[in-house]
Chains A and B, each alone.
Chain A
Amino acid sequence: MTSALNARVPAGSLETKWTRHRSEIRLVAPANKPKHHILVVGSGLAGASAAASLAELGYGVSCFCFQDSPRRAHSIAAQGGINAAKNYQNDGDSIFRLFYDTLKGGDFRAREANVYRLAELSVNIIDQCVAQGVPFAREYGGLLANRSFGGVQVSRTFYARGQTGQQLLLGAYQALSRQIGRGKVRMYSRHEMLDLVVLDGAARGIVVRDLVSGRLSSHVADAVVLATGGYSNIYYLSTNAKGCNVTAIWRAHKRGAAFANPCFTQIHPTCIPPTGHHQAKLTLMSESLRNDGRIWVPRSRGDGRAPNEVPDAERDYYLERLYPSYGNLVPRDVASRRAKEVCDEGRGVGPGGHGVYLDFRDAIARHGRHVIAERYGNLFEMYERITGEDPYQVPMRIYPAPHYTMGGLWVDYNLMSAIPGLFVIGEANFSEHGANRLGASALMQGLADGYFILPYTIGDYLAQAKLAPADASHAAFRQVEREVDERVQKLLAAQGRRSADQFHRELGRLMWDHCGMSRNAAGLRQAVERVRALRQEFWEDVYVGGVGADFNQALEHAGRVADFFEFAELMCHDALHREESCGCHFREEYQTPEGEAKRDDERFGYVAAWEFTGVGNPPVLHKEPLTFEVVHPSQRSYK
């Protein structure tokens, strides 16, 4: 695997790498493209845009999603916006600045060349989406509007009310639908990928379960693209949709794809605090709220007064106090950690003291209620629906929650994993966001990968791959299908006493406590032990019910939880090995006197890519050193 960890970053100056690479990589002739078949797993921004673009080019494409329609992939829930270095606001933005902000926001743990390419392509994405009819917010003159987001000092975020993800996804879904209608993409909704098939060292197909009939089937192709999103649901409570899971990428990892930086998980600062044990998931309030809302807690511990009765002098606007130049717009990791800190001090508000205020009183006084309503109306309504409180009258209460995972399968510059022919795009890969993702850049990455990078780079692979003809009757496919079936039967046969949901909650709690917003060596060691024990209990004591050959949601969930149990150990292992703090990964042992993350570039200036060696066995570490040709990693400062 060591050789596979060559990132294949092209030579040349940062600004010319991608253009040059595009001109030099191999092409598949138009007449040959229909002879190649590609499987795209997932239909979110990355998957839908990739499937549509590949079909436009003439490739044969099959696309799979576990939802009942590709339009429901979790990208749809992204609220705030998408970044692009258009500099429409004339405020000094540039490709370089977007690149630098993203790299710095990620605390210098991302690959420089990838991030630059992302910033470069950001402008094409906006063009593409507008051409598809995405109804971005506009100014009265008819041109596109922007707003600002955390971690930056320019206004470069494009948005469609609080539903930017929805509108971008529908754009990609519609492009995909057009190709389905033309017979160029075969769509498999309500199908879940349960394993990857590797033949002669190359990814050649997948085994899926039809979630309605329960039938397993194999699909053969020349290349496989995973666009299956992130794994925040390992914490049980997260802002992810209930179905989000690690299964596809975990199975690929077990088949040989390296897993990079699994412990880099983003905890988003502005979520609605949980209300009780019944809680099934957490709801994010867009980070854009931090543009106008001011975050505070009472100065003194245990202040039981209603928020509007606390006078200004007795409020601690702690982000404005600690970070005068960025104030409430510090990056997510910093905002989350500081919120936890004030709550741990006993100054948190709301039930259990798990909350801080996000107050719009001053913004409403300054701009008027109608302006605030225009900017955030739908978010205020959502908050009111969930909490029963009116944020125009009473400050919102927010608390950090797992939201996004920067870690994912390791990919090279071409977005190909350590298994030839297996490409990984969007949140499922590790590449662009380092140790912390800035707001409004997940949508950017998903679409850059799907519309503008993968369609080129996959051609480079297909043009030179020597693939023997194969079909689903091949022994390798039959073998994997058999293994998948055995696992399904094993889950059904356990016939224990506890539901998968109960186990999932327990695992989530454990990971949140020991591998969540802050971590330490003792806690992580303990977590590994607990995960192992709990995993064993799971297989002995889980009760699934029903049969395999049916629509069985309990079985779907149990399979995903089983994979989370295996993956959890790797996550803790990675967090334990990284003896530094960087971005979201805050090791209590490594902090500056001001309580900021203390990086150790000397020892940990690399991507940690792990090789699977068996469940319960220690994974093998491969390092991809991070070299910076243009920027000089510095201690991040938002003061």
Chain B
Amino acid sequence: MDLTLHVWRQAGAATAGRFVRYELGDVSPDMSFLEVLDLLNQQLIGRREEPVAFDHDCREGICGACGMVINGRPHGPRAATTACQLHMRHFPEGAEIWVEPWRARAFPVVKDLVVDRSAFDRIIQAGGFITARAGSAPEANAIPVPKGDADRAMDAAACIGCGACVAACPNASAMLFVAAKVSHLGLLPQGQPERAQRVLRMVEVMEAEGFGACSNHGECMAACPKEISIDFIARLNRDYLTSVFRHQPSEEGPDPAEG
């Protein structure tokens, strides 16, 4: 196949970026989209030009490292598919493809297609966990979990933290990401003790990081490579409201075990 790529090139966070046009021949329909970028980069290196920077690692659609907007859609045109799993057989011969980074205030560009998604880490650090010190766990089968709850928790837990939901949202909202973690842990009995505190803290940090609000466009769900449902956002809102009214916010004290 022959392709025309328009790739966003930006040297760093502080410099302006622009699209650069590249013609590429000899593309196999069996290639993944990232293998096309590999091919382009090898040609650029051959011409002593700087290769395109992009995040990628597992290339199996699970690590969440890759992420780019392809022809206006995060991860490209295929449903439930990350960029690394998108294969060229889904593009027509001679296709013209525009590639750009996630665009959101909370995800500043590092270089070319690479953005800084550490805001997601800080949201998890604020409360996206269950406190369970190593060594203190009860026997695993002591608390049965109804299969339906466990399955729904798993549906939410499937989030790979790629940020496509933010990139797809006109408000650059991170509600689907936060909702997925709040729901995963909130659906399980182990997650109940910290449920209110968790949602309050995660939402607080989410807002402080500069993500926008949810206005129910549903673009996030359409873009999510793991097809995480916006039903979880409704759940997040419910949890949040209940917690705002019921929970007495208190600073977490020192770990009792640390004395």
A residues near B (Cβ < 8 Å) are 30, 49, 52-53, 56, 58, 67-72, 74, 76-77, 86, 88, 124, 126-133, 135-144, 160-161, 163, 165-167, 170, 173-175, 177-178, 180-181, 187, 189, 212, 241-243, 275-276, 278-281, 283-284, 381-382, 385-386, 388, 451-452, 455, 499, 501-502, 543, 545-546, 550-551, 553-554
Q: In the complex, how many angstroms separate the beta carbon of A39 from the nearest chain B beta carbon? A: 19
Residue A135 contacts which of B59, B85, B143, B153 (CB distance < 8 angstroms)?
Answer: B153
* Cα A74 to Cα B63 with chains together (Å): 7
Contacts of B30 in A (CB 8 A): 275-276, 278
Contacts of A181 in B (CB 8 A): 122, 125-127
Contact status B137-A127, CB under 8 Å: yes
Contact status A280-B34, CB under 8 Å: yes
Interface centre among A67, A77, A178, A502 (most CB of B within 10 A): A178
Q: In the complex, how many angstroms separate the beta carbon of A213 from the nearest chain B beta carbon? A: 10
| New contact pairs (15) apart from A58-B258, A242-B59, A386-B32, CB-CB < 8 Å | A56-B255, A68-B65, A69-B118, A69-B120, A72-B161, A74-B58, A130-B140, A131-B137, A143-B141, A163-B158, A175-B134, A177-B128, A543-B48, A551-B110, A551-B114
B residues near A (Cβ < 8 Å) are 12, 28, 30-32, 34-35, 38-39, 41-42, 45-46, 48-51, 53, 55-65, 78, 80-81, 85, 87, 89, 110-111, 114, 116-118, 120-122, 124-141, 143-147, 150, 153-154, 157-158, 160-161, 184-185, 188, 190-191, 255, 257-259
* Cα A545 to Cα B80 with chains together (Å): 36
* Cα A141 to Cα B122 with chains together (Å): 37
Contact status A126-B140, CB under 8 Å: yes
Q: Could you give 9 example pairs across A and B, Cβ below 8 Å?
A: A69-B117, A70-B121, A76-B62, A127-B139, A178-B131, A382-B61, A382-B85, A386-B85, A554-B45
Q: Known contacts A144-B141, A275-B28, A281-B59; decide if A177 and B125 are in contact (CB<8 Å).
A: yes
Contacts of B144 in A (CB 8 A): 138, 141-143
* Cα A501 to Cα B42 with chains together (Å): 8
Q: How many inter-chain contacts with C-beta < 8 Å in the A-B complex?
A: 221
Chain B: CB-nearest residue to A497: B46
* Cα A13 to Cα B259 with chains together (Å): 37
Q: In the complex, how many angstroms separate the beta carbon of B3 from the nearest chain A beta carbon? A: 13
Contact status B42-A71, CB under 8 Å: no
Chain B: CB-nearest residue to A167: B157
Contact status B64-A72, CB under 8 Å: yes
Contact status A280-B51, CB under 8 Å: no
* Cα A77 to Cα B34 with chains together (Å): 18
Chain B: CB-nearest residue to A243: B57
Contact status B191-A133, CB under 8 Å: yes
Contact status B154-A160, CB under 8 Å: yes
Contacts of A278 in B (CB 8 A): 28, 30-31, 35, 38-39
Chain A: CB-nearest residue to B45: A499
Residue B132 contacts which of A131, A382, A385 (CB distance < 8 angstroms)?
Answer: A131
Contacts of B134 in A (CB 8 A): 49, 52-53, 56, 128, 175, 451-452, 455
Chain A: CB-nearest residue to B30: A275
